[in-house]
Amino acid sequence: MDKIRNPFSPGAGSPPPELAGRESILEQARVLFGRVLAKRPEKSMLLTGLRGVGKTVLLNEIERTAQAAGFRTILVEAHEGKPLSVLLVPHLRRLLFELDRLKGAGDKVRQGLGVLRSFIGSIKVKVGDLDIGLDIEPEPGSADSGDLEVDLPNLFVAVAEAAQERHAAVAILIDEIQYFSSYELSALIMAMHKMQQRQLPLVLVGAGLPILPGLAGESQSYAERLFSFPTVGALPQADAEKALRDPVRAEGAEFDPAALQAIFKLTQGYPYFLQEWGYQAWNHAATSPIGAAVISETSELVSQRLDENFFRVRFDRLTPREKTYLRAMAELGAGPYRTNDVAVKLSVKINSLAPVRDKLIKKGMVYSPAHGEMAFTVPLFDTFMRRVMPKFEP
Ligand SMILES: Nc1ncnc2c1ncn2[C@@H]1O[C@H](COP(=O)(O)OP(=O)(O)OP(=O)(O)O)[C@@H](O)[C@H]1O
Ligand SMILES: [Mg+2]
């Protein structure tokens, strides 16, 4: 059918034509924003889920929800090796200048800028030149202890008080939160703790791979009290079919129910796979309705495309040792895997694998769903590993 009118959008962060099955999370976000404006306590949100399930598009939608509720927003994406402070500072600076232009009396905005200035002063030593030209006197002793767990909460308080003074509210949205160190996460958690204690109008919505099990002791119990952790996962059949059916219908075409069922079976409802299947099925079909035969005919092509675009890019970033580790996991089935079983598969001592496992976690390839366990962060990655490395050689 007409390729130009193809409604599907496979790709990292590409908004789907139909954001299916996420109503309850969006509703939760609306309630959160509303309650913060009403000065009622509510948990901030950390969306967690595997690769390609739709965390980024959901976070973007939540940003729009926040803006519609009247919030000023900051949306950032964490990267491997980029400090949280460096990531946030330019945005907080912009925000404070925006607040400065809003009507209202008081000196909290100036103060906020001063606190930001001293915060920058303290991190400059560590991160080199973060010169963002703030021609303002620092507020000594406010956020310049050099200890992020102290400074970040103080900085957030200063920003939130500035916002409050100007009758504004702030939502900070952070994607790929798993890239922060546990120390940075703990500082963020402490900062949100202060927001809640003082009922200040600043909320945090994060998204990323599952992180909770990686947090230690006190920060974990804090995190559980301050945040809700909605899971973003594969779509149930009804939502998966809707995600395919409605966009096609909007273009005046149809899927056969049998075709929808076939796609659901092949994708297990994973959003990225649904988009890729929908996309190829549309292009391949001669006419509407798109039948089950089209699905089996495109099966090979879709697998190839997913291998190239979704799996391969991640695989290519791995060292031979890391590949062997993942291949050993795949040898054990779909997971989750006990770290000990992987060691046994590789005929080595479990301790000797700790460095390679840490690397794989840092690269976001695996995560630990529970103590002593590992799982792939990419859905169906075990099947890909067996395809790309047909023979397991420890
Ligand atoms: N609710 C949904 N219904 C249908 N398609 C969706 C849905 N959510 C996301 N998608 C599609 O899934 C794909 C992946 O989305 P997105 O990039 O947001 O995932 P992600 O969880 O952020 O992945 P990653 O962990 O790799 O960053 C996109 O093509 C998007 O259009
Ligand atoms: Mg994403």
- For 53, 148, 312, 334, the CA distances from 84, given in Å and listed in that order, are 24, 10, 29, 34
C-alpha 279: how far from chain center? 24
pLDDT for the residue numbered 126? 54
Q: What is the pLDDT of residues 150-202, one digit of tens each?
A: 999 999 999 999 999 999 999 999 999 988 988 899 999 999 999 999 999 99
Nearest to 318 by CA among 385, 272, 379, 386: 385
Query: Reduced to 3 states, what is the DSSP secondary structure of residue 72?
Result: strand
User: What residue's CA is closest to ligand 1, atom 16?
Assistant: 54
Q: Which residues fall inside 5 Å of ion ligand 2, going by CB?
A: 56
Q: Which CATH architecture has domain 23-228?
A: 3-Layer(aba) Sandwich (3.40)
Q: Could you say which DSSP state residue 365 is in?
A: S
Count CA atoms within 13 Å of residue 26 on its CB side. Answer: 15
Q: In angstroms, what is the span from residue 256 Cα to ligand 2's centroid?
A: 31
Backbone angles phi, psi at 174, to 5 degrees: -125, 120
- For 78, 118, 135, the CA distances from 146, given in Å and listed in that order, are 21, 10, 21
Strand-strand pairing, 202-208 and 44-48: parallel
What's the farthest any 2 CA atoms get from each other in the chain? 70
pLDDT for the residue numbered 293? 96
User: What residue's CA is closest to ligand 1, atom 29?
Assistant: 10
User: What residue's CA is closest to ligand 1, atom 2?
Assistant: 19
- For 314, 329, 330, the CA distances from 346, given in Å and listed in that order, are 22, 10, 12
Q: Please, where in the chain does CATH 1.10.8 lie?
A: 235-313
Sites in the chain below the pLDDT cut of 50:
125
Ligand nearest, relative to CA of residue 232: 1
Q: Which parts of the chain fold into alpha helices (H)?
A: 23-37, 55-68, 84-101, 108-127, 148-165, 182-197, 217-226, 237-250, 257-267, 271-284, 292-306, 312-315, 320-331, 339-346, 354-362, 381-388
Compute the distance between CA of residue 306 and CA of residue 263 in angstroms, rounded to an integer: 14
Q: In angstroms, what is the span from residue 232 Cα to ligand 1's centroid?
A: 10
pLDDT for the residue numbered 81? 83
Q: Please, where in the chain does CATH 3.40.50.300 lie?
A: 23-228
Topology annotation, domain 317-388: Arc Repressor Mutant, subunit A (1.10.10)
Give CA torsion, residues 162, 167, 168, 169, to 10 deg. 90
C-alpha 307: how far from chain center? 22
Q: What is the pLDDT of residues 101-135, one digit of tens each?
A: 988 778 999 999 999 988 988 776 455 555 556 67
In this structure, which CATH number among 1.10.8, 1.10.530, 1.10.20, 1.10.3470 belongs to the domain 235-313? 1.10.8
Compute the distance between CA of residue 8 and CA of residue 276 in angstroms, rounded to an integer: 7
